Structure 1
């Protein structure tokens, strides 16, 4: 049985989410503040975290960042904050999804199942795909999910790693944001393809000597992005 952690200070919302998830055979634990949520997330062996942003003690953004530095599990942000900047920041910190309140509890369950299935698929793929990908001083190891640039290890979030791996496996081909969103987040994913640009910018910050003049992931004006292998 998959374990899900809900970090939400509104008890009524948290219990509604829990009831729907438990009806779908998930084990669910609720924590109501950021400190307890952090301890549970990092030590509780959970398969997925559902995270509010407005939390006591540690806000959801910082909690998402701390989870992502330690764990590679799906994180879904659920918040009443609906601005694009909040969504971009959430994705930039490594969240896999962002749902705005009010929302359908059934949709939350569907998204949780989709992200868990996606992570299981990726883990299976990584176990069997161990061929190292290289381009100049950039090295990606699918099996260990590690990236090295200029002989230094680069720490990428799960989505950043998937994007970079996809680019390195398909050099010279131009992909639109929509295509990349469907490929990495899933054809049935609910969200905004603009998040692709956020993730690409963060990858550039980590692997490019000059992110403003990228050598690896090029922007093709009006078309999308291309990985420049040479």
Structure 2
């Protein structure tokens, strides 16, 4: 049974979310402010965290910054409708996905299941993904969700790991944002959605330079992204 932490200061909404998720077979725990949410997230193991942005004591963005120092638990950020700046900043500091309030129950469950699939890719798709994927100076261990580059461990979120996996498996091929959104985020690309761009930007920052100084990922204007083969 997957364990979910809900960090939401609206107790009525939090209770409703908890009831909905338990009906769907999830185990839930709740925190009603940022400080207690961060402590709970750090001291216990969760499969996913639902994180509201507007929280007392410590807001969701600051909480996420602190959490990402040493914790890569998938985070689904809950934002106010039209809170585009919060969405962008949230993705920059390590959120895996976001959902604007008010949201549909089915959409929430679909996003949660998509996030959980990213963390169990080797189990869910045993024929599609090799246990270990290697290319040049990078090694991806799908079973452990670990990345080694130039003999150093690289800390990636579940979404960044899935994105890197997708790019390397189709190295030398231009992958459209539409394709990456469906395969990595589990949702159709919507107008003005910059999620893939932000995750790519974070991934680029975390991967060390190639020894030949060439870029690892090329942006093909108007088409998508390409992992350079050689």
Q: How many residues align?
A: 226
> Higher mean Cα deviation, 147-156 or 46-55?
147-156
Counterpart residue number, 1:59? 59
Counterpart residue number, 1:134? 135
Separation of aligned partners in 1, 2:70 and 2:90: 17
TM-score normalised per structure 2: 0.82
Separation of aligned partners in 2, 1:151 and 1:112: 33
Q: Secondary structure at the match of 2:99?
A: strand
Counterpart residue number, 1:228? 228
After TM superposition, give the deviation of residue 8 of structure 1 in Å. Answer: 0.9
Assess, with a 3 A threshold, how the Cα gap between structure 1 residues 163 and 113 changes in structure 2: closer, same or farther: closer
2:103 pairs with 1:76: no
Counterpart residue number, 2:45? 45
After TM superposition, give the deviation of residue 25 of structure 1 in Å. Answer: 3.2
Structure 1 residues without counterparts, runs of 5 or longer = none
Asked whether the 8 Å contact 2:52–2:79 carries over to 1, the reply is yes
Question: Which deviations, in whole Å up to 9, do the C-alpha atoms of 1:18-69 show, x marking residues without a partner?
Answer: 2222332332222111111112122233222111111122211122234344
Kindly indicate which of the two structures has a greater share of residues assigned to helix. 1
Structure 2 residues without counterparts, runs of 5 or longer = none
After TM superposition, give the deviation of residue 188 of structure 1 in Å. Answer: 6.3
- Give the superposed CA RMSD: 2.9
> Higher mean Cα deviation, 49-58 or 201-210?
201-210
